[in-house]
Structure 1
Amino acid sequence: MEILEPLSGDAFAPETTYLNTSTCGLLPRRAVDAITRLARENAAGTREGAGGFDALTAARGAFARLVGVGADRVALGSSVSVHVALVAHSLPAGSEVLAPEGEFSSVVQPFAVRGDLKTRYVPLESLAEEVRPETALVAFSAVQSADGRVADLAAVRAAAAAHGARTLLDASQSAGWLPLDAGAYDYTVTAGFKFLTCPRGTSFLTVTEEAQEGLAALHSGWLAAQDLVDNYGPVRALAGDARRYDEPASFLSYHAAAESLAVLESVGIEAVYAHDMALAARLRAGLAALGHEAVATDSAVVAVPGLDGAQPELLRAGIYAAARGGNLRFAVHLYNSSADVDRVLEVLA
């Protein structure tokens, strides 16, 4: 796999050795420019309204293309947990929700807080074989936040289909570097501020047409209406597609998101995947030479058990990584280079 030249200069401008995209991705220059421009217009009163709907349309369309679905299947929001809560509310009392042990809280808390659902947690490696006839929903991340493990996506989909269970995939740690067919899952939820390099306050929900039938538009406002001039009194008709599940959008965040996603599209997910995987392989090999074995071998998220205590030392050296779940966690992305990896290994040595 080929390591690309990092997209610095006109695209990104890192001033540190930044390998912490699993926590928060870097904003492209053009996204920062979009936020700045809109903020100035809002301060000066030189535009009608707080932002443009064209930015929402552009972000929706770009995300849809990146994950392989039509824009009519994508809803915009502000956080993964709000999207998951929408799905959690749709389940009948007593439904079983199956999830991996140690799954990120935003994926499982909305089910746990209901109190009338049966939540069952199993090892990630056993997720597919643990689906059973009474399982209503399998909720899981494509890539685990704590240690970068990649789920057996095909096996889980096949097991869910065999038992009539729906699937909810969190792509927050994968969308933006791992090629994804969102249409293969009933629901996907994705935080925009990690590998998609968008600001916080951007998130994406995809819903298949079949799954949409049982999903209530609980937080719908006037932006969820079929006719956007229908904005006084109850909405007469909700949008016929996934836009009915839109949250009221933060224009500042989505003006930037449209630019961030355009940068990813210009590079292409396959190229980003090859770049990130090559850098991750270089990092894993260097860590192994120092006596540190990473958990996952097929991920852009490289986590080393028991090395989390080194995170403050790396930070003092200007290297950004994370301490998560007892692991020292690195995450490489399109703005990283071989020199970044070598710098990490030099400091750890």
Structure 2
Amino acid sequence: METFESLVRAEFAPKNTYLNTATSGLLPARAVTALHDAVQIRADGRPLDPLFEDVEAARAAFARIAGVPVQRVAAGASVATQTGLIAAALPAGAEVLTAEGDFTSVVNPFHVRGDLKVRAVPLERLAESVRPGTALVAVSAAQSADGRIADLPALREAARTHGTRTYVDFSQAAGWLPMDAGAYDYAAATCFKWLLGPNGVVFLVVPEDHGGLTPLLAGWVAAENPWDSCYGPVGELARSARRFDVSPSLLSYSGLRHSLALIEELGVEAVRAHDLALADRFRKGLVSLGHEPLPAPGAPIVSVPGLGRLRAELSAAGIEVSDRAGNLRASFHLYNTEQDVDRLLDALSG
């Protein structure tokens, strides 16, 4: 029987100490093989049917991880475009509540509308700041800058009380934090971070009734029968969330379906336990060195004020982290080990 450790060892062999999943996850070996195979299909001039099948296999796997029916999942290319669909559906003058300093793709489409009332509050006050007349609250499940986790249960309750729609971006959480995406009106997640896929795929979860969204980006792939809808206006949009699809980056899905399969085999809870143990080890080590990380309990992202300037030096030493607003950001995932944590701590000690 394969264990968590044996599955991971079979898929990853990084050439450095990679502690930067919050920027981009590593590709498992099975995804790399699938990408090569997909490229060869294109090079050989063979039918693309298997690549379109990969799109649907990846959609179905994401739906299982997100805990929603596959009919609620749309496939796109970026969080910003998915947010844009939601922003476009709001009436002029609607109030949108956001968290201060949240990732740009989650908030900027509401600002560029120009006729919405966008209000930002500290993340910790988000739920209590929902009020009568708030049309939508939009937030990242885990903050990109420092890993702080939104109080999503409190947010759901506040939104229910005031009749407010909810939009949660799981880009920094999907893969290590259980999603329960069906508990929100809209949920998005990019797949090249903790879900270990190639760039170019973002899924959007919408309500069964599509939540009032208009498929503004709909092309032939958004039709109920795509191959019969290649010319002229689409006669019938897909009855499912696929009506919000954009033309897929086929090669990306060919790798992604196998990355998602690995996450399913390992189990999100097991990944979470592994990741958080490493993050806790790093936090304790930082304190022993006299550094105080920003508080983000229960997250595998650790940001340390004032040390971002060391990123280039650490990279030259074979340790990959991020510099975010002057903070050193380390993010721990399933392919990391205690030795990786200790190597970073040793480098920071002098």
Give the drift of 1:219: 0.7
Mapped pair 1:196 → 2:195: yes
Aligned partner of residue 323 in structure 1, secondary structure: strand
Mapped pair 1:313 → 2:313: yes
Separation in 1, partners of 2:143, 2:107? 13
**Residue equivalent to 1:23:** 23
Q: Give TM-score scaled by structure 2 length.
A: 0.96
Counterpart amino acid of 1:185?
Y
8 Å Cα contact 2:74/2:243 also seen in 1: yes
Separation in 2, partners of 1:48, 1:4? 36
**Residue equivalent to 1:207:** 206
| Structure-to-structure mapping, 1:205-244, within 5 angstroms | 205-210=204-209, 212-231=210-229, 232-244=231-243
Deviations 1:294-339 (A, max 9, x none): 2212201111112211212211210000011221101100111111
Give the drift of 1:235: 1.3
* Identity in percent: 55
8 Å Cα contact 2:303/2:329 also seen in 1: yes
Give the drift of 1:6: 7.3
**Residue equivalent to 2:332:** 332
Q: Does 199-208 or 294-303 show the bigger shift?
A: 294-303
Aligned partner of residue 228 in structure 2, secondary structure: coil
| Structure-to-structure mapping, 1:70-149, within 5 angstroms | 70-149=69-148
Aligned partner of residue 113 in structure 2, secondary structure: coil
Mapped pair 1:159 → 2:158: yes
Separation in 2, partners of 1:52, 1:35? 10
**Residue equivalent to 2:33:** 33
**Residue equivalent to 1:275:** 274
8 Å Cα contact 2:142/2:150 also seen in 1: yes
Aligned partner of residue 148 in structure 2, secondary structure: coil
Mapped pair 1:11 → 2:8: no
8 Å Cα contact 2:301/2:331 also seen in 1: yes
**Residue equivalent to 1:298:** 298
Separation in 2, partners of 1:7, 1:347? 29
Deviations 1:149-174 (A, max 9, x none): 01111111111111111000010000
Give the drift of 1:5: 2.9
Q: Give TM-score scaled by structure 1 length.
A: 0.96
Q: Does 140-149 or 311-320 show the bigger shift?
A: 311-320
Aligned partner of residue 113 in structure 1, secondary structure: helix
Deviations 1:128-150 (A, max 9, x none): 11111111000000100001101
Give the drift of 1:70: 0.9
Separation in 2, partners of 1:335, 1:294? 22
Give the drift of 1:214: 0.7
8 Å Cα contact 1:4/1:275 also seen in 2: no
Separation in 2, partners of 1:156, 1:105? 20
Aligned partner of residue 10 in structure 1, secondary structure: helix
Q: What RMSD over aligned residues (CA atoms) do the two structures have, in Å?
A: 1.4
Q: Unpaired segments of 5 or more residues in structure 1?
A: none
8 Å Cα contact 1:6/1:337 also seen in 2: no
Give the drift of 1:230: 2.1
Separation in 2, partners of 1:325, 1:170? 21
Separation in 1, partners of 2:244, 2:347? 47
Separation in 2, partners of 1:130, 1:325? 26
Counterpart amino acid of 1:304?
V
Mapped pair 1:60 → 2:59: yes
Q: Does 220-229 or 177-186 show the bigger shift?
A: 220-229
Give the drift of 1:57: 1.0
Q: Unpaired segments of 5 or more residues in structure 2?
A: none
8 Å Cα contact 1:7/1:335 also seen in 2: no
Aligned partner of residue 243 in structure 1, secondary structure: helix
8 Å Cα contact 2:304/2:327 also seen in 1: yes
| Structure-to-structure mapping, 1:159-198, within 5 angstroms | 159-198=158-197
Counterpart amino acid of 1:191?
T
Counterpart amino acid of 1:226?
E
The total of aligned residue pairs comes to 345
**Residue equivalent to 1:252:** 251
Separation in 1, partners of 2:304, 2:184? 30
